[in-house]
Structure formats: structure tokens, C-alpha cells
Amino acid sequence: MHALMMQIPLLVSGLIAHADRWHGDTKIVSRTVEDPKGLLHRSTWREVHRRARQLANGLRHLGVREGDRVATLAWNTHRHLELYYAISGSGAVCHTVNPRLFDEQIAFILGDADAQVLFFDISFAELAARLVPTLPRVCHFVQMSAREALPAGFPAELLAYEDLVRGHSERFDWPLLDENAACGLCYTSGTTGNPKGALYSHRSAVLHAYACALPDSFGVSACDVVMPVVPMYHVNAWGLPYVAALTGAKLVLPGPLLDGASLHRLILQEGVTLSAGVPTVWAGLLQHLARHGGDLGRLRKLVIGGSTCPPAMRERFEQLGVTALHAWGMTELSPIGTVNAPRGDEEIISSEARARRRAKQGRPLPGVEFAILDEDGQPLPHDGESFGELVARAPWAIRQYFGRPEREGFTPDGWFRTGDVATLDPAGYMQITDRAKDVIKSGGEWISSIELENVLAAHPSVLEAAAVAVPHPKWDERPLMAVVLKPGATLGRDEMRAFYESRVAKWWIPDDLEVVDEIPHTATGKINKLALRTRFRDHCWPEDAAAHTTATATGDIVDIGVDLIEQPG
Ligand code: AMP
């Protein structure tokens, strides 16, 4: 029996129309890209909606039709926000591209997506000029600025964004699209092999926004001032431009200035209550506060994800009166899969259990389903101990990569294979132990690099730590720590090892450390393990490396001499 309910499609245009109608005067504040000091541009949801409609007419004028891919290389700004709504609202596909990738990767992505139009911020004009010869299918290049700021000598015809907006009428009726039509296209970072496209639908984007706004997710309301630091070119800034319109929150867009001092200024000046970004960005903010002092004003919540939030970081923010919400997600999941919010049983579990829970990646958002599988694809128990590959399903998870064979990356029964190794506990909290390709395999057992990083991040001398698997003649691989120290601090191998005693199993304790000036990060802010593995693959282990490995994975003490040690496990 069919229900008798209205069939109104879930569309991205519905979000901006709602924000305009009921929160039209709510402010949108954005750092400008043209101004080196990052002057602030102020508009409102009404203004964003009006200019998005003008832009939608502009796109039509350029010949953009439903389903066409319109690409952006842009920071988090009001213009990028207008583009989000103009492109998707008019039925085209908003294809955000990460400008921090290599030229070849960007050219590959734009070619694979078959983009027809490329919008770019003034700071990416040189990048766009270099790309022109590799993009025969792109018919229009648009710089996101006024005409006066167009560069001379651009190797293709170049349009000015402001002309495209101002030259067109604000009368545009958002088409009543099929909610399953594509609205956005993002590519994975592709640290191994070429990046792959996740093609989002209007329905998936809107449902994801609803789920993210919930109290146990990001918990966003019309009283919030939301600042997405996570870039709009990285999985739609975790959906926040949609969540903010859905809830009518004020939006603060930090443009290209993402250093601790600039973010701190914006947080105080604009009364930011909620922000979101990767741990490295927040490490920058904490460093700024450590040097210059100050508080975080009205900031109440920070969503931290993209890579593991070290417990020490969460605790520091909590001392500053800010709840750090650890979240996990993937490009293929739009991206949010879990948020670490408390549960109703917090009062009755021990403080140790609460602390262990807090360190995890969180509970699935309603709609997200998980299983963990062993190497034969068999489900493992949700006991918080057994770890295996995490597979997921959700209304906002992809069912196929763009332009790829149907089954690539999926289990035979259609679950998305995340490539993350995780545990699930009976209360639903998921914990990532590693990317499958980053686990350290010592004597046939797995050591969690994330756990090793979390422990060392709490050492008073350590600014950032990365654990890498380095070949070892006896154990196959052993963990080596690459460590950035705080200014003036020192840390020796023995001190590091002593710090790990009682914090991790004996055979997990890293055998050595390398002090480095900087830990390499990928274009999406994750530790670049591939680069570290390559750099340290010939690392010369100290003579007694792994001599401490006298306990098996199950905790049994075996032997003491290196040659006599039984393989862990
Ligand atoms: P991306 O598609 O670029 O967002 O990357 C997704 C990957 O980032 C996931 O598969 C995880 O390996 C990693 N990731 C995201 N969030 C977290 C988190 N909170 N803790 C650990 N890893 C994370």
C-alpha cells in the first residue's frame, strides 16, 4: 500500500531557499582572497541566494546544462558558497577540486570528470594558466574576482565572476529536479593510484546535512556561528555549507588564511561557536594560544576529524572550555560516518571506560551501518577488541565510483569497503586502528600506528608524532617514530621508550625515533605515511632493536635474547 504523503524531492536548492526565506538577514562573513590582509566581506543568506540565482542565469548563458560538470579551485569564501548553490541548484554538478594536489593529479581529475567550466580563485590563477593546455574539454575559465583583477596574458579567454553575476537577472526558478540527480563530485586524495570520484546526489547531500545537524552529531542551530575551516574543496567542507543553510546558522568563511593567529582573530571577532577541521589546523591554533595567550571567546564545539584527534589535543581544548568532537568520515561517505558524542550510560560506566570511549572515532550517525570483517570477509564481533576491515552502508555512501567498474571497492553484497582497520564496541563506538595499508605488521601481528601516535602526542616535548612501519630483518616490520619536537625540547630513544612503558603492550613499543623538522602531510592534511616509509625504508635499527619484544601479542612472556624471541602471536 502506498502512503499518502507528498512527494517533494530533497534538493540542495531547497536549503538555500529555506535559509533565505526564514533566516535571510543572518550574516555570511568571508575573508576575501584578493586582499592580502584578508579583509572581510559581509553578506547574508538573502544576498547569497540572490547572487546564486544571478549566477545560475550566468551559467545558463555559458551553455551549462543539467548534468554538466562545473569545476572549482577555490577557498572557503562567499563566492564559493554562491557557486555551490548556483551550480547544483540549476541541475549541474559542482565539482570541487583540491588545489593543493600536483598539477598532473588536478589535470587527471578534471579530465576524468569531463569538466566543462573551471572557476578559480585569484590565488590559483597561475595554476589554472598552467592547466589550460591539459584541459581541451574546458570551454570556459572564470576567475572569481572583479574584471579589474583579471591577469594579463592568461592563455585562454578568461571571464570575471562578478560580470557573470552582475550581468544577469536575479529571476531564476530552481528546477524541480529528480532528488537522485547528481549535485556534486569530489575526488579521493589518491595517495595510492589515481584519485577516484564520488558523485553525490541532491538526496544524499540533504540527508547528510540533516543527520549532521542533529544534537548528537555536530549539534547545529540557528543560534550558532559556524566556521568551516575544513576546505570546501575537501568533501564539501564536511557538509557544513549545507548544514548552515538548513539550520539558518551564521556562516564564517576563513578564505585562504588558516594559520592559528588568523583563525583566532576570526573566532573572537565573529563570535564563532562551532568550527571544524583536521588536527593539524587545531595544533596551529593551540600553538598560537600557547605563545600569545588568550581565550576562545564563544567557541563551544570543535569537530576534529580527517585523521585521528590525539586525546591530548581533545583534553587541551576541554581545558579551554571547548568540547572537541572527534569525527570520522570519508569522501565516499559525503563524508561523515561517526561523531564521538556521549551516550545515556555515561553516568554508570567507570571513568576509565569513559576515557577509553572518548579516544574513539565515535558512534555511527543514524542511517550509517557498519560491520567489521576478517581477512576472509567474515563478520567479527562488536566487542571493542576484534579488529578488521570496516565496511559501511548509508544513504549518503557511494554505491559505485564515478566511471569505474561497479564492484570496485565493494563487498560482493554491496557494502562499501573503507580500507580502514577498526574495532566496534557493544555501545556502537568505532575506533580506527589504522588505514589497512599503514598497519605495522610485526611478527605476524598488527600494531596500531594511530595508538602509538596518540601516546607520544601527549609527551611534553612532542609537537607531532608519526609512527611508520620500517622493514626489520627479524620481525618483518617494526615501528619507528618520526617526531617533531617543541622549540628547545629534546627527546632520546630511551626516554621515549620509557614513556611508552605501561601505556602500550611491551612488544608495541617503538624501537627507535627520528627527530624531524616537519612531518609531511597530504593535500588533505593527513600524515603522508607513504613519504615517511620511503624516507626511512633503509633506517638502520639500533643493535638491540626489538630485544624488548619479549611478550607475545597475548601478553605471554617468552624469552629474552633477540635470537630466541618467539614471533609475537
Ligand atoms: P578522505 O576521503 O580524504 O576524507 O579520507 C578518509 C580517510 O581519512 C578515512 O578512511 C580514514 O583513514 C581517515 N580518517 C578520517 N577521519 C579520521 C579520524 N577521525 N581518525 C582516523 N582516521 C580518520
Ordered structural domains, the chain, with CATH:
12-341 (3.40.50.12780), 368-437 (2.30.38.10), 440-552 (3.30.300.30)
Quick one: DSSP state of residue 556? -
Alpha-carbon 145 to chain mean position? 27
Measured from the Cα of 189, ligand 1's closest atom is 3
Q: How far is CA 353 from CA 227, 321, 342, 359, 381, in A?
A: 32, 22, 12, 10, 19
Distance CA 550, CA 545 (A): 12
Q: Cα(40)–Cα(272) distance, rounded to whole angstroms? A: 15
Top mutation candidate among 360, 432, 437, 451 for ligand 1, by most atoms within 8 Å of CB: 432
Q: Whose CA is nearest to atom 20 of ligand 1?
A: 308
Query: Does residue 335 have a cis bond before it (omega within 30 degrees)?
Result: yes
Residue 161 carries which side chain, given as an amino acid letter? Y
Q: How many CB atoms lie within 10 A of CB 492?
A: 11
Query: How would you write the pLDDT of the chain (569 residues) with one tens digit per residue?
Result: 999 999 999 999 999 999 999 999 999 999 999 887 889 999 999 999 999 999 999 999 999 999 999 999 999 999 999 999 999 999 999 999 999 998 999 999 999 999 999 999 999 999 999 999 999 999 999 999 999 999 999 999 999 999 999 999 999 999 999 999 999 999 997 666 789 999 999 999 999 999 999 999 999 999 999 999 999 999 999 999 999 999 999 999 999 999 999 999 999 999 999 999 999 899 999 999 999 999 999 999 999 999 899 999 999 999 999 999 999 999 999 999 999 999 999 989 999 999 999 999 999 999 999 999 998 999 999 999 999 999 999 999 999 999 998 888 999 999 999 999 999 999 999 999 988 888 898 887 889 999 999 999 999 999 999 999 999 888 889 999 999 999 999 999 999 999 999 899 899 999 999 999 999 998 888 899 989 999 999 999 887 666 544 433 333 333 323 333 343 32
Rama region for 543: left / alpha / beta (φ>0; ψ in -120 to 50; rest): alpha
Cα dihedral value 170, 93, 258, 420, nearest 10 = 150
Give the position, in ligand 1's atom list, of the atom nearest the Cα of 331: 2
Residue 446 is among the residues annotated as catalytic for this protein: yes
> Does the annotation count 247 as an active-site position?
no
Q: Cα–Cα distance between 62 and 552 in angstroms, integer?
A: 66
Rounded distance from Cα 307 to ligand 1 centre (Å): 5
Find out whether 475 and 499 touch, Cβ atoms under 8 Å: no
Please tell me the predicted confidence (pLDDT) of residue 547.
55
Q: Which entry of 369, 385, 408, 441 is annotated as an active-site residue?
A: 441
In single-letter form, the type of residue at position 37 comes to K
CA of 306 to the centre of ligand 1 (A): 4
Eight-class DSSP state of 76: B
- Ligand 1 proximal residues by C-beta, below 6 Å: 188-189, 235, 305-308, 326-331, 335, 361, 418, 420, 432, 435, 524
DSSP 287: H
Residue count of the chain = 569
Q: How far apart are CA 416 and CA 287, in angstroms?
A: 38
> What's residue 190's pLDDT?
63
Atom of ligand 1 nearest to the CA of 419: 10
b/e per residue, 544-562, with b = 16+ CB within 10 A? ebbebbbbbbeeeeeeeee
- Residues 332 and 197: their CA atoms lie apart, in Å, by 8
pLDDT at 546: 63
- Catalytic residue, chosen from 82, 332, 451, 453, is 332
- Give pTM, 2 decimals: 0.90
* Å from CA of 229 to ligand 1 middle: 16
Ligand 1 atom closest to the Cα of residue 308 is 20
The string of DSSP codes covering 5-43 is: -------HHHHHHHHHHHHTTSEEEEE-SSSTT-PEEEE
Q: Does the annotation mark 188 as catalytic?
A: yes
Distance of alpha carbon 399 from alpha carbon 416, whole angstroms: 7
Q: Give 467's strand partners.
A: 481
- Pick the catalytic residue: 174, 446, 507, 508? 446
